[in-house]
Structure 1
Amino acid sequence: MSQVWGLLIILIICPLLGGLPLIDWITYGLSRKRLSKIGTRNISVSAAFYHGGQLAGIFAVVSEAAKGILTILLTRVFFPSGSVWELFALCALVLGRYWWGKGAGTTNVFWGVMVHDPIGGSLTLVLSLISFTLFRDRKSGKLVVLFLLALILTLRHANQPEYIIGAIALAALLAGIYQKIPDDLDLSQTNVNPESKKMFRFFRGEQAILSLNDSLKPQKVGQKAATLSHLKRLGYAIPDGWVLPAGDDIQSLISFLNPSITEPLAVRSSAIGEDSENASAAGQYISILNITNKEELESAILACQNSYNSPTAIRYRQDRQQKDTSMTVLIQKQIKGVFSGVAFSRDPVEQLNTNVVIEALPGDASLVVSGKVTPERYQIEVSDLKENNLDEIEVNILGEGDVPLHLIKQVAILSRQLEDLYQGKPQDIEWTYDGQTIWLLQSRAITNLHPIWTRKIAAEVIPGVIHPLTWSINQPLTCGVWGDIFQLVLGKRAQDLDFNQTATLHFQRAYFNASLLNTIFQRMGLPPESLEFLTRGAKLSKPSVFSTLINLPGLLRLAQREWQLEKDFEQDKQHYFIPTLQEIEIHNLTNLSSKKILNQIEQILLVLKKATYYSILTPLSFAIRQAILKVPFEDLDNSAAPEVASVRSLAALAEELGHLLPIQTIKADNFAALFAHLSEVSEGKNILNRFQKWLECYGYLGEVGTDIAVPRWSEEQRPVKELFFQFLFSSQPFFATKSSDDLSTSSWPTLWLQKRLNLKNQTTEIYSKLLSYLRWHFVALEENLMISGRLNQTGDIFFLKYDEIEKLTQVNHNFADLIQQRRQEFQQNKDLTQVPYVVYGKPNLTNKPFIYNISSRSKLQGIGASPGQKIGIIKIVKTLQNLPNIDAQTILVVPYTDSGWSAILSRAGGIIAEVGGRLSHGAIIAREYGIPAVMDVHHATEILKNDQLVRIDGQKGLIEILDR
């Protein structure tokens, strides 16, 4: 029983004892300084010495030593002296120390070990003093001490496996905490006790001097120095440099460096928070050039450090809600430049201009950034770096001056290389050319080009131009559901994220916030290239084991949701989806008042939120399972997908008509003549009735299912009537690549994945039907408002937001001018060509996108979505209105594919889409009919021309233009 009490002491009392903030109380009592509010906010012995002085530090040592000793003595009340439980008790003490006090507990452990095993503790102490003398570096020295502690204790108890585990666990725990918490000696604070700095100067020597050749972390030395060290280690031409972290003794560095007239130095700032994505701090801190002796160097370093606390710098940080942190000083060899300048990998002013912008002059870089001299300005159009070798990269330079154009080309390529290196984030670089080498002096993100917005993924989910009513409903639903999913995984780490900023409209098109999603993905443990995945389609590497473990609780919660997805959907289907659809189907909308229609719209919206959840999570679930199980898409039965089932049943109806009526007796050369002929014969009338029932079943499909402003098949019947006509007179038999009967002998992974695919198809059907009924309710409401004179013409309601419609039904607001303005904006945006797939920052949308020469390519690369090769003639179809003749020789080029496009996609010999992937509607249709398809070919409707001859490879995702 006593050992049970001992365990309680270890698990409860020891952590509480460790978390007791005695050091904070002592330091405050002696110096009136709260360690929890200054420096790194660590409540540690070193912080007490550093901020409170020697007396506070001595008392802090005594208090922490008492904790360690008391822990051992308490443990001995219940367990034998020297047992492994004493080590586990110290572990519990250290955990409490870290959780509540944000300290490591080194002093606790040292004195605890001295009581636990005096011989082992003494040996560790002696060897540790020797190692500190050799290393003279706190970080390396502490890790060596931990290694010696674990080694000595395990050697003294080599015959006790449980003791070895305890010793290693204690050392590993301290090592892990050392990596988590910053060191107060790495930060500078005002009013620091000068005697405290002297105490730690011994642990600084030439070996501890940081240079740009070292691996530096931005949270330690600032983003500027960390970026330059990263680039230098990658092989870029960076001038040699040394870094003085805040709080370090400057004398050792000054003694090490020898500036002279022939080899001058430059002192620059690298403050924590400077050169970030949201704040450059340009011009806030002092940079000093042409330093030729040690006295000037010391004066320059102190001036640079003091500039951190200048009134303008403080106000700059306050305006951007940045915390006061510290200043690291960067000292570099100064390059004598023949030509120098700055380069922006994207235009920071005309944000829709994707050219590189360079400002340059003869002489040093300081001339350009000083603002005292007007530099030469160049704009450079650069071809895709990834498609060419550096020697083959084509550039088009606009601008002229004294700077050689070959140098401008090299700088432009360098700026794009750095943008690619940093996952597509536009870069602002400073450079200088000494006659032989282009030296890179700085690279940082262009702050006003943040965040980055991408149409990738968004253009597939919500394609085309979007009406205001649709967006006012879709945006909060989509952002809300994604926010719920991310919060499920991230938990408290999602508290500072605004999920309402997940998506926005540019040029009336949907864009996802790639910067926000990249932040989310990084917190979820995905690799840094997640931004490139969102903006450029780069492949993601697997997350590390460590990041997976960190996110394990959230991932398990998400996995539980995914595992129960089918069960949850079935429950919601029975309780919400089917009852709601049945209820709204029985009402004749023409007989309902505006108030009752609005009530039903509210009911649909409530259920639509649940459906949106499944419409997002089920495709995600299917994609994850497919990636894990590696089941080919061709092995699955997609016949239940609405876009496939609708075309199959229409083909079956056409086949039945062919049996009832001899084809030669039907005199019709188009779909209109066919349906007119059918209405005149008895067998034809039966088919027409069957066609009408088919429309009642699948009429909810349309050109853009997610846009409630776009008519459905039941309203715009031409595409499906043309398809019916083709099925009737086509000599090619209808076929599908897979049917449910073919799955009887399939493997268990295929059958298991098939269940998730069936669920995906069910959710698509429910979601699409709800959106269609939502549309028809707004159409009925619009008719009522037109009768009452509150709206003027058909379609007006879709140019109002939902809250505006609610006001319009209650009070007779006059929205005529607003509707007219939005109609004009919508039409202007609809007519735009080459709308950018990536938008940087918040551009002025009154300017039209830049038009580029994109038609000069002979090969296009996309995502292979359906295997096979085909040579055919290009026909571009941007809408389902005024369709051309489409046959097996047609390579159909479309801006996007929705379930409503299946009526024409199934008639083509090949498919090219500007957006989409292997799970898009077009890809599903293509695989069902064995049609080669390539998705995600940006600007395909502009690059390719009608009647061009092309070869399409649906396996490789490659398109070759054979006829230019």
Structure 2
Amino acid sequence: MVSAVSHGVRRVHASLRGALRAHSLENPAHRRRLDDGAGPQRSSCHGRWCDGCSGLEREFRMDRPSDAPPTTVALTDDRATDTRVSGRKAAMLAQLLRSGFPCADGMVIPAWIHQHFQERGKTGSDDGETSAHLERALDEITDVHHSDLLAVRSSSTVEDTNEASCAGLFTSVLDVRGATALRAAVLKCWGSAENVALPQRERVTEAPLMAVLVQRMLEPDAAGAAFATDPKDGDTTAVSVSAVRGRADRLMQGETAADEWTVTVSAATCVRNSYDAITPDQAVAIAELTRQVSAHLSCRAEVEWALLDGRITLLQARPTAAGDEHAVAWPAPPRGEWRRDIRLGEWLPEPVTPLFATWFLPTVDLRFRRAQWQRSGVLVPKPSYRLLHGWYYHSPLGDRRSSALLEGMLAHPGFACAMLVSRHRPSITNRIVVAKQTAALENHRLSCRALLGTVTAGFAAMSERVVVDFVNRVIALVGDCLWPMFLVGGTAWRAEEALASYYEKAILPELDEPYHGLLVDREQAEAVAPHAVSTLDWYRPTLGEVADGSGPQPRPVVSEDDADRLKELCLAVLSRRRTDPARFNRLLTLARDTARMRRRYTGNLTEPWPALRQALLRLGTVLKERGVIDCPEHVHFLTYQELRTALSHGSPARRQELIAHRTSTWARQRALRPPLSLGTAAYLLPLLLGRPVVETDGRISPDVLEGIGVSPGRATGRARLVDHPAGAEVAAGDILVVRSLVPALAPLIARAGAVAADVGSVAAHMSVIAREYGVPAVVALHSVTQAVQDGDVITVDGTTGRVHRRGPVR
């Protein structure tokens, strides 16, 4: 890079000032004078170069060229290692480059020019001098990088410290070409020094000085990040490596998943493989480089890297800030059991985004708790959910004790008795509870469709206030229907549980077939709705947005004739045992009827989601036009209050830097392994709701994971890890490995050989779908998405609830 800079500067011999500057930087004698203090002194003014006189006028003195402060500094220049000159990000790279690390080179516009810009801006006395300094810097850079694509990165004097990373607060601009675009990118970096979120997050009282690092854009074969993990288990060598094909900017923005590796001295383990971006040897080399950077910095380090033609290049490096720990804690609440696989938890298989967390969840939870109090007498005055590192946890009683249940029993004894006998006499629960709740759900369904009918022409012509009002009305309808929907779903589960218990005692000893085939009937063979979702969070597209609809619609594998045949076999067994079949027939009819209702109303829950996403996209478009965000989809990473403020103000503050931080945080949270439950359940709660699954680590041996079998049968095939149905490649017979069974996965489940999921329950909507399709399924495995690699041969046994790794079971 030094020779490139030297060559570029020599090309402007017509400028005496440029020639003298080049001579000053390259002449060892002059460099020694600078280092020894004979030249300009580095004052305490964050990188402003002066020699005791008044300000920057010394730059224009031609009698002492070594006194002129540089308008650009190469990373290979010793002065670039000074954070007051280059900012922390660039200075870190310069220090590593000087120590022999394979860093990408670059040129720095030093912080003193930004300081000059700030001072002139405060006094309003800009006489063009700052512009002249900046233009000179831009000329020097464009002279070296004539038509190169450039990365223009902020490098402030306060970021990347052991105490604060300032991640996402300052701006970097990629794919910059030409002097005009370069000038705009530099001004954008300078502008991010005024980020209003900086004092709130990092307790910085004044805008920091900002150097700007300019580097040639790389087009690598693979890229990503790596960090030295917390040695809490005594292993000081562990490194986590994330990798994608090509450039890593979408990964850093949280817009894509990555291959995830854990590398120790003894082994490199791929815990998630989506792209085959790097080989095990390359993962080991990246990890070793990360350890060397950590040793050099004398702390745990995080790096960004790129792989080009087999060579690893460091793009950035920083200490892992104390407040930015990758080994996070999951503290148990002081009271109650909080689970992520019940209520909305089974619909939220990943961390929620800020807009969903601050708009949808509070309103829905409030209306749910109100309906619960009105119909069951159980009052939960505080939110019944918590977000830990973005993950949703729910507790039916919140932080209240069992006394809340006793109060409810006294207030509504009929409801309490119906729930208590539901396992043994589900017909009583059906008569007392379900009839009323079904009517309520039908009213909500009609109200929702009437509301959707008002927006058939779209949202383009609507004002922002009308769009926000529409979203609020939809959220209110969803909140009102959740309580009756969960009651109907719970009754269906108890009816099936009662049928299964009777079947096990009276029929299974003579008929070695699972009961699940009895539950398929003609009315259940329906197409998957286009509004099916992979998560309730409206950030993700619906099935209709990611599927072209040209493929065959899934249908149950277990046919109606098979169900009728199994029923006749059951009646024959009862006849041989001289048992009255009336109870069997009642249980079967009730289980089928309630399962049908559960599927109808649960499937309708997300019917407004396509319209909701269009409404939010409309609001995001408005904010993009006002300069608040860079693209409409970023609206999901604003809070509700920030959205309302931005819509109501004539000149709203720009939020893109804050959004960049939030998307990066969200991406890191998605890689966490949250526990299934936290805390201890209230004493009486299992009596009414059933005993929750006791959490284990899901392993009974190194090669066997154990969960809950929700659909019987056994299948062996190639594991396919799927984060989202969009672009998922699942061939017939593949084993679908997911975080949670959600409705948008139905087309994939229909052609999969089997399904394995981290979370779930027997009563979950998609567990029922798996049984209808005749696909073996095991849920509540807790860590199958991390224990199994994409492409592994595994066996899923839905009858025993086990997943066997490394080939079929003999």
TM category (shorter chain) comes to: 0.3 to 0.5
Q: Which has the higher contact order (CA 8 A, sep 6+)?
A: 2
Normalising by structure 2, we get a TM-score of 0.47
Normalising by structure 1, we get a TM-score of 0.40
